[in-house]
Structure 1
Amino acid sequence: MKTVQAKQSKQATIYRMVTPEHTCPYGLKSVDLLKRKGYAVNDILLKNRAEQDAFKAEHDVRTTPQTFIDGKRIGGWDDLRRFFGQTVHEANATSYRPVVVVFGVAALMALATSWATLGNLATVQAAEWFIAFSMCILALLKLQDVESFSSMFLGYDLLARRFVPYSYVYPYAELLAGVLMTAGALNWLSIPVALFIGSIGAVSVFKAVYIDKREIKCACVGGASKVPLGFVSLTENLMMVMMALWMAVRHM
């Protein structure tokens, strides 16, 4: 009985923007988080600009939503997460998550394809497809914004610094090699392309990170990447090199 009463006594008030044109997503997240934490939520909607401006002026805040617990202002969405001891995403923080997701999805696709076509998960073909699918997905991410990718790529790639158009060609070359390797077609083209871009990429990353000791972000998952240039970036390029050499030996 005491536990039930304690849960019922947890009260929170949130002010969030909801207009015919826009519903604040962080307001919805805040309400959901409060309810999952056992709070009864007094959900106050700010339905027009005048109400929003009046609220901000009264409480001397610049944004909504704003959450209050026990009469004390907690703050916005990030502040509420901190209040509950949850991690908060920092805008400029580096993360390997994008690369882990790419390789994870590529691995699952390769295993699924191997099972569907060969009836077995543990096949040599699955390993080949894993690398080929990874190349295709990474190329897709770069091709979403080639201009941003090229700008970041020029920060460390040795060939692109000498021949700028290569920074625009690279994602298309990576996609071409990945697609052809997936199909097992035109090996005379896919193998040298993968070997060429992979070798230059590996040397460029090794020089930037391990010789020049530079701390920059990698363009491997596109121009908006927060992935630090380093071991993972080197691995991506070495995978292409190993795939090219493996296929060259296999099809000799």
Structure 2
Amino acid sequence: VPCEVFCFRFCPSHPNIIVGGLASGQVCMWDLAEARKAHSEENALTDSAESKEGGANTIHAQIKMLSAVDQGHKRTITDLVWLPPTLEAGDRNKFARKPKEAQPAQTQFLTIAGDGQLLVWDTRRAIEVLEQEKGPKGEPGEKTEKDKKMKEGWGAKLVMPLPHTDSGAELSVTSLILDVPKEENAICRLLAVTEDGEYITVNLLEPNTEGAKGTVAGGVRAVSLGHYGP
């Protein structure tokens, strides 16, 4: 790891996948399946009878993918959360509802930091970049027209500024809770706190008036003074 890991989360639908937020503002991804496979092969070669993980039998996982330093947060990532299968960040910098059957796996996660921005990352894009870099035989792969138009490396899929509703200053968010109701016409929100002890409400998706599944992005809707410090 290039620097300190300040937060990490296991993927609910793929427990072997872990993502972490770094002090540099980057995110990284680990795949424990590969580490466990290598560990099992090593035990087989040494005729080790120990099968349980932990203690002297701890597995060691290397970072599978690291995001581009210029396509992430500008300050330390303080918290992250996986998006549920029913909510997805689209290509137009907006959130949208998805039927659970159409997106059973969780591939996107949301990060916050002290730079006043909310970012959404997609692990599918990380795999695409990794395959492009290595190619089918470990050699650099050929870039498609879509790849040529995109920036180099793994970057955020969605960027949402978090300005203060009164002053417009950047909100330095420290921790969050995601609120995604089961009802498709309900507002999807982010509840968070800042370094200054404020409580904020961020609407990620607001159902439109026509009753569709929702394609309207929200933003910071309320800032309330709570504590006088972090």
**TM-score for both structures, normalised by structure 2:** 0.20
- Structure number with the higher strand fraction is 2
TM-score when normalising by structure 1: 0.19
Bigger radius of gyration = 1
Kindly indicate which of the two structures has a greater share of residues assigned to helix.
1
